[in-house]
Structure 1
């Protein structure tokens, strides 16, 4: 579960890094501001306009697209874990 959460954190970290910002500092700042301001719309200010509110910057992703991406990512993780369990369970040479 933690690895899945870490994978989701890579999205804003990659945006910050590609924008020339410090990825860890940007992620920490966004997460703390989301909690203190109770504003889930805060994101990476790639254009360095001074506003992190994505609604104000007109950055809007359709819910159906995000939902589908998360469902596919979750299914892929489950498939990889299932394959890994099968390989580990039958990893002995005598099985062949």
Structure 2
């Protein structure tokens, strides 16, 4: 599979928006799980922004708004501050296979942690 997704957190923001939109269609407690997953997807672009010296919350909020307004899922974190957030123009891409593996692995780790129901602290 040689398909690609745009990097710079663009794919994660786009997925976050899609999951959040679906969560509005769900009733009951499952809606909260969908919203939490959508929020978790935003951690990658937030980390990219913060590590680039940008305001993480401000940058991600701005990108979400731009992706919605412009219907452009290619907008991501401009780490190099070249003035564009279009990851296609900046040639920032990742393989779909690796992106799916990253999200799947992170989800599996969280599920394993949530299964823990007891923590033992050794006595000194």
TM superposition score category, shorter chain reference: 0.7 to 0.9
3-state secondary structure, aligned to 1:61: strand
Unmatched 5+ residue regions in structure 2? 1-32, 120-124
TM superposition outliers: structure 1 runs of 4+ over 3 Å: none
Structure 1 length-normalised TM = 0.80
Aligned counterpart, 1:77: 110
**Structure richer in helix, relative to its length:** 1
Q: 1:10-31, CA deviations, whole angstroms, 9 ceiling, x for partnerless residues?
A: 2111111121111111011000
In the alignment, structure 1 residue 55 sits paired with structure 2 residue 117 = no
Structure exhibiting the larger radius of gyration computed from Cα positions: 1
- Count residues with an aligned counterpart: 87
Give, in angstroms, the shift of residue 61 of structure 1: 0.4
Describe the superposition over 1:20-59 as per-residue Cα deviations: whole angstroms up to 9, x where unpaired.
1111110110000000101111001111111101111111
- Which structure has the highest strand share of the two? 2
**1:19 maps to which of 35, 42, 52:** 52
Unpaired runs of 5+ residues, structure 1, are: 89-96
What do you get for the CA RMSD once the two structures are aligned? 1.9
The TM-score with structure 2 as length reference comes to 0.64
Task: Kindly indicate whether residue 61 of structure 2 is the aligned counterpart of residue 28 of structure 1.
Answer: yes
